[in-house]
């Protein structure tokens, strides 16, 4: 018989507050067209993107995360000292160690929280949310800060016609805390490593360091393969998340998919047969693809503009490099 005492966590977990930060510089498609042979009409028709935000040298991964986190903590009605865990999902923090989560935790005033980074691409927010839920139910933290943050402008090849227009910068954060009823459903997540070449970094950092390539590494992708996978396979994952939560599409108030591409979003809405009353996040038009930051940024904007409200039931799904994915149903804060 085990001598270990059972964990004494909360029965459930919920998102209590959300915050976002978008860099001050707004970059229209015209700027992108200075380095690729394309047109504003082509970019909008292929992606739905009209503008994106690019960070200044001062708007670092840490600085943007601190701004978003402060808003989320205030929105949750708690103090930084109550944060017991900080989880940061990013692929664009260029210092391998220590984890940027430790610096962010210190900057926001958290007191000795667990702090670590994860790399799960555009599904990173869903991964972080699931880990935070586990920490709260297990009892190792009462409140956990989950941050998705990217400076993808640092990893964009402005001469790559397939990707130059896609990426933006920003940070989104949520506070996850205890709940007396289910407010974060079961997560449907996974990976398909056999498709890892469809979204990837062009070359390892070591190739650049050793001088075997002249261009700084960037993100590249096989657009058509990614589109087909996202539309057909991720719609199935989204349906599985609805099933796992015990609800149907008709029970939803909001749909917040990863803001990868407007065509992908619209195709998923059609495949899932979402009713007209469901509000769909289309933040990609003015924010671009911000990878791990895209879902919390879209969530923050929907709530701030009144398109969604506290207590709404939302389906969230992230998918990207790996290929990895994560979907769940949540109650909005």
Per residue in 272-288, pLDDT tens? 999 999 999 999 999 99
Q: How many CB atoms lie within 10 A of CB 310?
A: 8
**Which has the closest alpha carbon to 330: 276, 273, 255?**
255
Percent of residues, the chain, with pLDDT higher than 90: 95
- pLDDT attached to residue 244: 98
Average confidence (pLDDT) over 47-65: 98
Average pLDDT, the chain: 96
The overall longest dimension of the chain from CA atoms, in Å, is 69
How much is the pTM? 0.96
- Whether residue 318 contacts residue 231, with contact meaning beta carbons closer than 8 Å, is answered with no
Mean per-residue pLDDT for 124-137? Answer: 98
What pLDDT digit, counting tens, does each position of 163-184 carry? 999 999 999 999 999 999 999 9
Of residues 29, 258, 261, 277, which has the active-site annotation?
A: 258
Nearest of 196, 14, 202 to residue 120 by alpha carbon: 196
Identified catalytic residue from 29, 53, 93, 289: 289
Given the residues 29, 53, 93, 122, select the one marked as catalytic: 122
Rg (CA), the chain: 19
Model pLDDT, residue 290: 98
Distance CA 278, CA 247 (A): 14
Residue 147 token pair: 């941050």
Are residues 327 and 10 in contact, defined by beta-carbon separation less than 8 angstroms? no
Q: What is the pLDDT of residue 182?
A: 97
User: pLDDT class for 6, splitting at 50, 70, 90?
Assistant: confident
| pLDDT tens figures, 82-123 | 999 999 999 999 999 999 999 999 999 999 999 999 999 999
Span 15-39, mean pLDDT?
98
Structural tokens at position 176: 């996850």
Q: How far apart are the first and last CA of the chain?
A: 41
Residue 5 — very low, low, confident or very high, per pLDDT cuts 50/70/90? Answer: confident
Please confirm, yes or no, whether 122 is among the known catalytic residues: yes
Which two tokens mark 194? 């056999």
Respond yes or no: is residue 180 known to be catalytic. Answer: no
- Which pLDDT belongs to residue 138? 96
pLDDT(271) > 90? yes
In the predicted structure, residue 148 carries a pLDDT above the cut 90: yes
Q: Is 53 a catalytic residue?
A: no
* 1 pLDDT more than 90: no
Inform me whether the pLDDT recorded for 2 exceeds 90.
Answer: no
CA 264 to chain centre: 16
Could you report the per-residue pLDDT of 308-320, keeping only the tens digit for each? 999 999 999 999 9
């Amino acid at each position: 018989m085990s001598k270990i005492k059972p964990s004494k966590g909360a029965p459930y977990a919920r998102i209590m507050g959300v915050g976002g930060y978008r860099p001050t510089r707004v970059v229209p498609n015209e700027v992108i067209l200075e380095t690729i042979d394309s047109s504003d009409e082509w970019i909008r028709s292929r992606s739905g993107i009209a503008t994106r935000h690019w960070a200044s040298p001062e708007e670092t991964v840490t600085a943007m995360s601190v701004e978003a986190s402060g808003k989320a903590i205030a929105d949750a009605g708690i103090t930084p000292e109550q944060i017991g865990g900080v989880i940061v999902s990013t692929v664009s923090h260029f210092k391998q160690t220590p984890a940027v989560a430790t610096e962010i935790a210190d900057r926001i005033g958290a007191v000795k929280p667990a702090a670590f980074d994860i790399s799960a691409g555009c599904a990173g927010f869903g991964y972080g949310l699931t880990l935070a839920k586990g920490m709260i139910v297990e009892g190792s933290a009462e409140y956990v800060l989950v941050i998705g943050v990217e400076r993808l402008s640092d990893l964009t090849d402005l001469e790559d016609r397939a990707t130059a227009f896609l990426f933006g910068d920003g940070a989104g954060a949520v506070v996850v805390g205890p709940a007396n009823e289910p407010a974060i459903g079961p997560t449907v997540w996974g990976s398909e490593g056999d498709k890892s070449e469809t979204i990837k970094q062009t070359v390892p950092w070591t190739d650049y360091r050793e001088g075997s390539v002249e261009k700084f590494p960037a993100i590249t992708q096989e657009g058509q393969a990614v589109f087909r996978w996202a539309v057909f396979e991720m719609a199935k994952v989204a349906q599985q998340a609805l099933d796992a939560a015990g609800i149907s599409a008709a029970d939803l108030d909001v749909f917040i998919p990863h803001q990868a591409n407007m065509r992908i979003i619209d195709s998923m809405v059609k495949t899932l047969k979402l009713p007209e009353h469901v509000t769909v996040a289309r933040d990609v038009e003015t924010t671009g693809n911000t990878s791990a930051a895209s879902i919390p940024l879209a969530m923050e904007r929907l709530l701030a503009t009144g398109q969604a409200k506290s207590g709404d039931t939302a389906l969230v799904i992230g998918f990207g490099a790996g290929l990895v994915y994560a979907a769940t149903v949540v109650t909005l804060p």
